[in-house]
A and B are shown apart, each in its own frame.
Chain A
Amino acid sequence: MKTRVLKEHFSNTILPAVLNSYSVIFFFNNRFFSLVLLLVTFFNPVAGMSGLAAATATVLIADRMGFDKALLRQGIYSFNALLAGIGMGTMYEPGIVFFALLLLVSVISLLISVTLGGFFSRSGLPILSIPFVISIWIIMVSSAHMTNLGLTQRNVFWMNEMYSIGGKPLLDIFQVIDNLPLNRMLVIYLRSMSSIIFQDNLLAGIIIATAILITSRITFLLSILGFIAAYLFAFFIGSDMASFSFYNVGVNYILLAIAIGGFFLIPSAYSFLWAVIMIPVISMLILFLRMLTGTAGLPLFSLPFSIATIVFVYFLKLRIEPGALKCTLIQNYLPETNLYTFINNNDRLRGFRYSPVFLPFWGEWTVYQGYNGQYTHKGEWKNALDFVIRDESGKLFSGTPYKNENYYCHDKPVLAPADGYITELVDNVLDNEPGKVNTEKNWGNTVVIKHSETLYSQLSHLKQGSIRRKKGEYVRKGEVLASCGNSGRSPESHLHFQLQSSPAVGSKTTEYPFAYYLRRVNGTNTLCSWSVPSLDDIVSNVTPDTMMVSAFDLQPGMNLEFLYSVNGTDKGLATWEILTDVYNNKYVYCSESKSYAYFVNDGIMFYFTAFYGNQNSLLFSFYQTFYKIFLGHYPEIEISDSYPLNIIKSSSAALWLHDFVAPFYQFIEIKYNNRTAWSDAAIKPDNLKMNVTIDSKLFGKSKQSGKGSILVEKGIIKEFTLEFAGKNIWAKNSDI
């Protein structure tokens, strides 16, 4: 029992933490890359071993002392020790003193990582490799007094070293590669790459560069960009190459470009531009700092890179309106993923920025005056909406226009747009005769509802005496509040609606979207989400279907069980739990495949927001198939959405190419569509089938690349199928 727990702890925490110490140096979180880098460090066996030992020691200490497991697993606590370990292994002869110092360095770098990190993270800043620099400095300065610690000369005679490991064949390979007739620039680039882990040979450089290319095209592109920019700048200013050593190029210029261009910022033309702009800056910084530390005999290591990056990140964070240069909010440790989820979420998760507000009426109304309207929606009141009812010929009234009762919207129910308390209420202003306005009591009969500390809605020009609720009462979304009328500055019956951030009647208006509504164009309804209707739009509310709502009401604590088959082969049972994280985000968790699918259900729409884990799991197919489900029953409405591009298997050649240009231009799109195909009843159905299609769009040309179906029965997700990427999935809810 105990060994099993230990084993699990090892494979869930210790191993990933040690491995990620490697890949996080290049801002990845990728097992393949870690293993490659681990292997390359062993080109210098002592350095490789001492690096691994330092990282492992740090991980074990941090784990034992109970630091944040998530940060530990990401390698944040241990990569500095790893660097210091490799550095020490490169500089000193192994021995008892050496290993004692190695352990000490691990402790020191952990100490600095935790304390400095704790201090910096309050401002949301990274510490990068500052702990490494400080701890190796401490060792370097103090080691001068340690006679039992010998400087190594292995690096000078590295061929001997090679020979001792792999004999002549290995040495031959190294020599062949080192003597390749390569372009001078390429050689510098590759050697710089290898110098990041304190080596100086082409093979290491080639392997690292290739591993970067396989892991991330954007990072690869940035490494080249950083290198070329540095090279050209050195050439331009006629540098003495002092600031242009292999080590500086690798650790300072290239890592800076990677960090700024693709890690701390969402990759874009602007982030690339800033990566280039920062190259001369760091070049100056290197020369400047060298003067300072040189007097103490200390090499700079990656100090300039760390300082420049931290300063720049802080600089960006202090902006009030970020504009086109976006910081990465959710770090996925892969520029591609950051970029694709950002593009995807920017559009999809608009709703996260708002609380849901709905149209305050039933049936179809028309926007008579929109935002920045031509009559009165100007200045502080520009973000307001006036609604009326028009008939099929566009008229506002039947019979004569001289009677309020003849206006279609007059006396029609006005509803609460969202839950809240009534904070202001005016109910005694006489309704005007049509054509006359009451400028004394501008707003007429009015209700102001407080939805949150900074969101109030105001409904005005209501019918005298029609307000059904009292001040201070709590009203629920969709409850009838009053009737539409013609009071205040209103020449004919209409409903004035505005959202504001303060409670007074007639406060400054706020631009704020409605969560969901239908807009009718040429007789067909389209679903609008998180948008504001504009002038002459014919709009109505969406009614969710109770059966669909209960089918997708996945609450924490529930289990989902699906019997499934792949390509006709039975795969048995997949069991998932519905859980919630500390931020109250709900997700479906598959413990078997360690996969997470985060979702949102706002009562009108059920949609997945993120998937982490194994893309071969059934949960991933579930995520794909149920990517966005409309909980209303409107067979004429098709739901469309885009997947983040990183959901395609990274082996896809087209996506590989796409990754290179992705920061500038998106030519691939993967579309999700879903539509009700069949239901047993026109209203409140018991059985409902949806068809899902997945379309790939390449330069605007669309091709179906997958299809699926969803069967919902009596409030339960009963069955789903998905054909995608050569896999044919069929899954049936085993609770039924």
Chain B
Amino acid sequence: MEKLSYERPAIRKMNAGLMNKFGARIENEPVTQIDGVPVSSLIRDFGSPLFVISEKQIRSNIQNAIRIFRTRYPLVQFAWSYKTNYLDAVCRIFHQEGSWAEVVSGFEYDKALANNVPGNRIIFNGPDKSGEDLLKAAKNNSLIHIDHLDELLMLIDIAGVHGLKPRVAIRVNMDTGIFPKWDRFGFNLENGQAWSAITRIMNDKNLQLSGLHCHIGTFVLSPSAYSAAALKLSELARDIKNKYGKAIEYLDLGGGFPSNNRLKGVYMPGSDTVPSLDQYADAITSALLGFGYRQDELPLLILETGRALIDDAGYLLGTVLTNKRLSDGRRATILDFGVNILFTSLWYDHKISPAQDSVQMTEDMVLYGPLCMNIDVIREGINMPVLEKGNHVVVHKVGAYNMTQWMQFITFRPNVVLVDSNMRTHIIRKSETIETVTMNESVPEQLKGKSS
């Protein structure tokens, strides 16, 4: 008989039933596989830590979102927000599902082109577009969403010089009743900047005002904010129609739909606090349908949803390095991934599951990353089964932002693996090596040679 592993004696608070005032019962079901591929074999084959992305989940998310909106409103288009996750494989799944590209820099713009997105299906957002970027976008007939006056003036110049007729929208910011107000992006509606930008565009002979854009925030938990935004944009569109006779072709309500992740400091889990996508869809489409557009002038509704479509398709697999007892008696578990690659642990209390069957005993503990930095905390307090060195964990809902905002710090960024719909695995981004990091470095002559 195999030797049983040692179980440490422990005293634990009774926690029966569903919810009580101490919080939810801790579910610590082990997650041993992702889309049918065992975690252990993933780590064996691709190393630890490891990002895993589920193609099936991405497709399901976008199809679900399309269904939710298109059955409520006749003209809906999704544009994949590149900054949320611009791994080419991920972007291409979205493009295959019919999404356009929403980019915010020349780099992302080129990435979208390289992903075979036709220029006229790229939406170019953001405050930092260079003259070259604008020229390229105008030549490609992309939708340029102007963020500020200087950009508008630059584009007017470029269009004049090159004889182009770029299709533009302005980004509008407004009070939708939520905090924080994102008034640093685009033109403010209430103080009249938006209207003066529109006047300039309408008076320019080259620029074609095609749409209006707003992006009211991120992780917005209130659907009514969207209906306020849809209403205000519609009013603006009506004013443009009345004054210039020009029907606005599309309203881009940006992104900001939350995922099911649990924000730090929120008592209830995300699935209970976050409104469903249906509620957002209801809010937006009923505002548009109720506004009184002529049937043949209903604007196209563009959505730049990022996080809500990708977060739960991403997993981070990791391995326990060691355990230790802190000075206050709490247990600390050190993992092989930290805030360098799991940047979102600064925002969320990520759900983390053990990846193997474990003892029933759970204990409050702190999860630390491997960095030699005090801030490298993954979870400040989590109730989990006791983990031993070499055990694996699965961090859920990490698909958004981590693979774009991660840092190369102290160590390399790991492999990213895609599990496709047929349970096959594909490396879609190789882990870095020393060459990746030093490739762009150069050493002045006097520093070359042996160090003494």
Q: Do A and B come from one complex?
A: yes
B249 within 8 A of A: yes
Which of B284-305 touch A at CB < 8 Å?
Answer: 289, 295-296, 300
Could you give 27 example pairs across A and B, Cβ below 8 Å? A361-B71, A362-B70, A362-B71, A362-B72, A363-B67, A363-B69, A363-B71, A364-B67, A364-B70, A392-B59, A392-B60, A476-B295, A478-B74, A480-B289, A541-B74, A543-B75, A546-B296, A679-B120, A681-B120, A681-B141, A681-B167, A682-B120, A683-B77, A683-B300, A684-B210, A684-B249, A685-B120
Q: Is the CB of B67 within 8 A of A479?
A: no
Q: Which residues of B contact A602 (CB under 8 A)?
A: none
Q: Is the CB of B300 within 8 A of A364?
A: no
Of the listed stretches A107-115, A238-246, A408-416, chain B binds A408-416
Closest A residue by C-beta to B71 = A363
Q: Which residues of A contact B59 (CB under 8 A)?
A: 392
Q: Is the CB of B121 within 8 A of A408?
A: no
Q: Which residues of A contact B70 (CB under 8 A)?
A: 362-364, 540
Extra contacts besides A540-B70, A679-B120 (19): CB < 8 Å? A361-B71, A362-B70, A364-B70, A391-B63, A391-B64, A392-B60, A393-B60, A413-B71, A413-B289, A478-B74, A543-B74, A546-B296, A680-B141, A681-B210, A682-B77, A682-B100, A683-B75, A683-B300, A684-B300
**Contact string, B70-87, partner A, CB cutoff 8 A, digits 1/0?**
111111010000000000
Which of A255-279 touch B at CB < 8 Å?
Answer: none
Chief secondary structure at chain B's binding surface = mixed
Q: Which residues of B contact A685 (CB under 8 A)?
A: 120
Closest A residue by C-beta to B276 = A398
Q: Which residues of B contact A408 (CB under 8 A)?
A: 67, 71
Cα of A392 to Cα of B100 in the assembled complex, Å: 20
**What residues make up the interface of B, taking CB atoms closer than 8 Å to A?**
59-60, 63-64, 67, 69-75, 77, 100, 118, 120-121, 141, 167, 208, 210, 249-250, 289, 295-296, 300
User: Nearest chain B CB to A380's CB is how many angstroms away?
Assistant: 30
Q: Is the CB of A479 within 8 A of B295?
A: yes
**Contact string, A464-483, partner B, CB cutoff 8 A, digits 1/0?**
00000000000010111000
User: Nearest chain A CB to B139's CB is how many angstroms away?
Assistant: 11
User: Nearest chain A CB to B121's CB is how many angstroms away?
Assistant: 5
Q: Which residues of B contact A630 (CB under 8 A)?
A: none
Q: Which residues of A contact B120 (CB under 8 A)?
A: 679-682, 685
Q: Which residues of B contact A684 (CB under 8 A)?
A: 210, 249-250, 300
Other-chain residue from B71, B141, B250 in contact with A409 (beta carbon distance below 8 A)? B71
Closest B residue by C-beta to A476 = B295
Complex A-B, nearest 10 residue pairs according to Cβ-Cβ distance, in ascending order:
A363-B71, A363-B70, A392-B63, A682-B121, A684-B249, A681-B120, A412-B71, A362-B74, A680-B141, A682-B120
Q: Is the CB of A412 within 8 A of B72?
A: yes
Cα of A540 to Cα of B210 in the assembled complex, Å: 26
Q: A391, A479, A683, A686 — which one has the most chain B CB atoms within 10 A of its CB?
A: A683
**Contact string, A527-563, partner B, CB cutoff 8 A, digits 1/0?**
0000000000000110100100000000000000000
Other-chain residue from B72, B118, B295 in contact with A413 (beta carbon distance below 8 A)? B72
Cα of A578 to Cα of B67 in the assembled complex, Å: 42
Which of A326-374 touch B at CB < 8 Å?
Answer: 361-365
User: Nearest chain A CB to B73's CB is how many angstroms away?
Assistant: 6
Other-chain residue from B64, B67, B72, B250 in contact with A683 (beta carbon distance below 8 A)? B250
User: Nearest chain A CB to B181's CB is how many angstroms away?
Assistant: 30
Closest A residue by C-beta to B100 = A682
Closest A residue by C-beta to B142 = A681
Q: Is the CB of A362 within 8 A of B73?
A: yes
Q: Which residues of A contact B64 (CB under 8 A)?
A: 391-392
User: Nearest chain B CB to A469's CB is how many angstroms away?
Assistant: 14
A interface size (C-beta, 8 A): 29
Cα of A37 to Cα of B327 in the assembled complex, Å: 120
Cα of A412 to Cα of B71 in the assembled complex, Å: 7
Closest B residue by C-beta to A541 = B74
Q: Which residues of B contact A391 (CB under 8 A)?
A: 60, 63-64, 67
Cα of A365 to Cα of B71 in the assembled complex, Å: 8
Cα of A413 to Cα of B74 in the assembled complex, Å: 10
Q: Is the CB of A389 within 8 A of B71?
A: yes
Cα of A684 to Cα of B73 in the assembled complex, Å: 17
Q: Which residues of B contact A686 (CB under 8 A)?
A: 208
Closest A residue by C-beta to B143 = A681
Q: Which residues of B contact A479 (CB under 8 A)?
A: 295
Q: Which residues of B contact A365 (CB under 8 A)?
A: 71
Q: Which residues of B contact A409 (CB under 8 A)?
A: 71
User: Nearest chain B CB to A713's CB is how many angstroms away?
Assistant: 12
User: Nearest chain A CB to B424's CB is how many angstroms away?
Assistant: 19
Q: B73, B100, B141, B289 — which one has the most chain A CB atoms within 10 A of its CB?
A: B141
Which of A668-690 touch B at CB < 8 Å?
Answer: 679-686
Cα of A478 to Cα of B296 in the assembled complex, Å: 10
Other-chain residue from A364, A480, A682, A683 in contact with B118 (beta carbon distance below 8 A)? A682
Which of A376-414 touch B at CB < 8 Å?
Answer: 389, 391-393, 408-409, 412-413
Q: Is the CB of A683 within 8 A of B249?
A: yes
User: Nearest chain A CB to B32's CB is how many angstroms away?
Assistant: 23
Cα of A540 to Cα of B67 in the assembled complex, Å: 11
Cα of A680 to Cα of B249 in the assembled complex, Å: 14
Q: Which residues of B contact A540 (CB under 8 A)?
A: 70
Closest B residue by C-beta to A399 = B276
User: Nearest chain B CB to A356's CB is how many angstroms away?
Assistant: 15
User: Nearest chain B CB to A404's CB is how many angstroms away?
Assistant: 13
Closest A residue by C-beta to B249 = A684
User: Nearest chain A CB to B389's CB is how many angstroms away?
Assistant: 40
Cα of A679 to Cα of B295 in the assembled complex, Å: 24
Q: Which residues of A contact B289 (CB under 8 A)?
A: 413, 480
Closest B residue by C-beta to A365 = B71
Q: Which residues of A contact B295 (CB under 8 A)?
A: 476, 478-479
Q: Which residues of B contact A389 (CB under 8 A)?
A: 67, 71
Q: Is the CB of B141 within 8 A of A364?
A: no
User: Nearest chain B CB to A524's CB is how many angstroms away?
Assistant: 11
Cα of A578 to Cα of B70 in the assembled complex, Å: 38
Q: A365, A476, A682, A685 — which one has the most chain B CB atoms within 10 A of its CB?
A: A682
Q: Which residues of A contact B69 (CB under 8 A)?
A: 363
Other-chain residue from A364, A393, A682 in contact with B71 (beta carbon distance below 8 A)? A364
Q: Which residues of B contact A413 (CB under 8 A)?
A: 71-72, 289
Cα of A541 to Cα of B69 in the assembled complex, Å: 15
User: Nearest chain A CB to B155's CB is how many angstroms away?
Assistant: 17
Cα of A391 to Cα of B62 in the assembled complex, Å: 11
Cα of A74 to Cα of B48 in the assembled complex, Å: 90
**Contact string, A450-490, partner B, CB cutoff 8 A, digits 1/0?**
00000000000000000000000000101110000000000
User: Nearest chain A CB to B227's CB is how many angstroms away?
Assistant: 16
